[in-house]
Amino acid sequence: MGGKKGRYIMDNSKKIAVGIIGCGNISEIYLKNLSGVMQHAKVVACADLIFERAQAKANEFGLIALTYDEILADKDIEIILNLTIPKAHAQVCIDAINAGKSVYVEKPFASTISEGKKILELAKLKGVLVGGAPDTFLGAGIQTCKKLIEAGEIGKPVAASANMLCHGHESWHPNPEFYYQFGGGPMFDMGPYYLTALVELLGSINRVSGSAQISFPQRTKTTEVNFGEKIDVEVPTHISGVMDFESGAIGTISTSFDVWSHNLPCIEIYGSEGTISVPDPNTFSGPVKVKRFDEENWREIDVTLPYSENSRGLGVDGMAEALLTGREHKANGKLAFHVLEVMHGFYSSSETSAHINIESRV
């Protein structure tokens, strides 16, 4: 019944019905994985401000296309997967929670700390679950790194570095404007992958400091569509930060849309007895490399844990499992909010020339 307004039939009564709001680029992989691959969750319907876009996805994946109000009113849908643009994340989450739905949102969790707090408080009041991307930290690559750290492979972690540097999205993305608007920028776009991985490996962050700037006030589209059109930049496009972890480790992070090329690692964890090279946190697999103090060369570690392929949707599936079992899910709202608070901390530090204490904990 793809694309028609009618009832869907769940092929597995033990799966939780999911409705997707937002049918842009990122929805494709979620739709693919949540249309049958995942154990506990199954997408059944989708909605978009542009109804024809929802209709097209519904036809492709055998779903029902609904309006925004219809998908929130559907009593059988228990989880809303919020894939809207960043500045709409908070309002869609709040609407879903008020409709009695649990909600999982693409990164960032919200645009402001106050919005993030409101989402958490409202979810608690309504008795529903909230969570947020990324879920890549649940993949085989980062979980292999976690096992190595817990096994003492590099001794006690004392420091870390993370780097996400590129030259923006206007050369390839069909609609790159939101990357340079409030709620966007390299820290809010890609920072959640790196910060979530660091928190998973090293624990909560106590304090941050940072510097941020808008290097180029305008961007020019170089795609075939709207070639030469200008984009006004509203958010910092180069951010460098320092993090003091509760464990005692010190980390550095740089995110940028202003760099043409570099040779820096994605993430490295430095321990008292060696170093782990962590794979790209925007992926689920390796390579994972280790070099101890008594080794001459880097050693690549076999990545044999589950979910080494592109498994976006794991966080949603974990939320569905939590609804079925009562256990807490890993990609939860507390983690997503902690990352949000850290990101805002870098901005606040740059504006005030002061260290910023992080109140939330994971």
Q: For position 10, what pLDDT does the model report?
A: 52
Residue 3 maps to a domain: no
Residues 20 and 101 in one domain: yes
CA distance 105 to 112: 14
Nearest by Cα to 160 from 181, 174, 142: 142
Are the CB atoms for 331 and 81 separated by under 8 Å?
no
CA distance 74 to 63: 14
Q: For position 226, what pLDDT does the model report?
A: 87
Residues 303 and 225 in one domain: yes
Residues 287 and 186 in one domain: yes
Q: Which of 296, 312, 328 is the last residue of a domain?
A: 312
- Residue 50, domain CATH: 3.40.50.720
Q: For position 174, what pLDDT does the model report?
A: 83
Q: For position 14, what pLDDT does the model report?
A: 83
Residues 23 and 48 in one domain: yes
Q: For position 9, what pLDDT does the model report?
A: 54
Parent domain of 75: 16-132
Q: Which residues of the chain have pLDDT under 50?
A: 1-5
Q: Which residue has the tokens 């902690």?
A: 338
Residue 85 maps to a domain: yes
Residues 258 and 128 in one domain: no
Task: Write out the H or E segment, with its range, that includes residue 43.
Answer: strand 41-47
Residue 236 maps to a domain: yes
Q: For position 1, what pLDDT does the model report?
A: 37
Residues 114 and 245 in one domain: no
Residues 264 and 300 in one domain: yes
Residues 128 and 145 in one domain: no
Residues 113 and 147 in one domain: no
CA distance 349 to 243: 12
Q: 282-306 as b/e, with b when 16 or more CB fall inside 10 Å?
A: ebbbbebbbbeeeeeeeeebebebe
Q: For position 2, what pLDDT does the model report?
A: 44
Residues 145 and 292 in one domain: yes
Domains in the chain: how many in total?
Answer: 2
How many CB atoms are closer than 10 A to CB 148?
20
Residues 100 and 163 in one domain: no
pTM over 0.85: yes
Residue 10 maps to a domain: no
Are the CB atoms for 358 and 345 separated by under 8 Å?
yes
